[in-house]
Amino acid sequence: MPVLPVVLDGTHALMEKGSLELPRGTRRRVRVRVLERIDVPAAGDPKAQADALADQARRVMVAALDELRGGPGRAEQPPGASPRPPTRGPW
């Protein structure tokens, strides 16, 4: 059975931390991207299949979120954050 990855961006702004309720009257932008399906091999070690599927799904989802947020490395940052400056040497 194939897996259909879906990426949501902007959902962090919909709810307050610790709440399960959506605020009323709040106009927030949430972007949804449905990605290409990932076919799961029918044979093989189930643990290895699950690990490979998780890795592949994460890669395509991070790439899509990077694209939605405007560049490489943005998926790992809160929306609207500026890119991290390059790290400097020990000097």
For 26-60, how does the pLDDT look when each residue is reduced to its tens digit (9 = 90+)? 777 889 999 999 998 778 888 989 998 999 999 99
Angle at 47 between CA 46 and CA 52, to 5 degrees: 95
Number of compact structural domains in the chain:
1
| pTM (2 d.p.) | 0.73
17: domain range?
6-75
In a domain, 83, yes or no: no
pLDDT recorded at residue 24: 76
Q: Are 7 and 68 in contact (CB under 8 A)?
A: yes
In a domain, 84, yes or no: no
In a domain, 88, yes or no: no
Average pLDDT, the chain: 82
In a domain, 90, yes or no: no
